[in-house]
Structure 1
Amino acid sequence: MAADYELLCSMLSSLTLNERHPVPNMANAAALLWQELPDINWAGFYTMEDGYLLLGPFQGKPACIRIPLGKGVCGTAAEKNKTQLVKDVHQFKGHIACDSASNSEIVIPLHDKDKKVCAVLDIDSPLTGRFTDEDKAGLEKFAHILEKACM
């Protein structure tokens, strides 16, 4: 079952319409993804804090609190400023296993007004190969709405 990214983006736009604070917007975005995306086991954010990523609002099991830049899929996405679509996390060098049930992952960098990475959107799945180029394009649009709303 494919996600309806047009609908997800419309829902996020409505949720962030009159709110500029990033924490409630990220919390609602994580809840929306958790509710609407099939076959995921974690959806949330890490924010940039003094040169590392710090756990932010999320849905799922407890997660790693701090991730160094360049480490794991999240740290790599932040350091390279590029979406990471990983079909099999066990093949990703340096993967950080916060949840042993995760087998695939997608991480999208979010940018502040100065175009610097200020957070990442991280989504995990227990299915190998869960995320596609269609997911990448849809989630990048989703992330862009959040950037415009509050980053």
Structure 2
Amino acid sequence: MTQRTPDNRQIEAPEVAAWWAERRQYLERIRKVPELRQKFWREALFYIIRRLLWSFGFFPVFIAFWLPFVLASFNPVVMANDLIPLLQAFIDSNPEQQANSISTLLIAWLSIGSFFLVFDFVLTPFRSPYQYEADVYMKSWEQLNHDQLPEKT
């Protein structure tokens, strides 16, 4: 079995197996390092917070203000003239209608945020610090073992 490199050279299966075995062993070794484990959890937490803020903070707010602004032909006076009667009607309505309006806005906010959250997780997956460390290690391992590997690699 052979595999091709990005520059179209072929690598035989034993060399590929040795590379993956070394990577797997290195990942097993670094998973025991407390500093890297702490870095992993910190980066995972920041990744989730960043995705949540982006999906539930930016996109719903952007859509809530951008769409009316576009519909008002980028004229804030027209937008204000359209929104003031709606806000006055909301204030003049009974508490049940106000609660219904607020819950509808909350459901819209959460549905837009959830929609963007799913696509945000798909489009920007989490990159583990373990994988980064393994990539750096494997580049140096390739350079150190380059003279020991056959000419094809």
The answer to whether the superposition gives a TM-score over 0.5 is no
**Bin of the TM-score, shorter chain as denominator length:** under 0.3
TM-score (norm 2): 0.20
TM-score (norm 1): 0.20
The answer to which structure has the higher strand fraction is 1
The answer to which structure has the higher helix fraction is 2
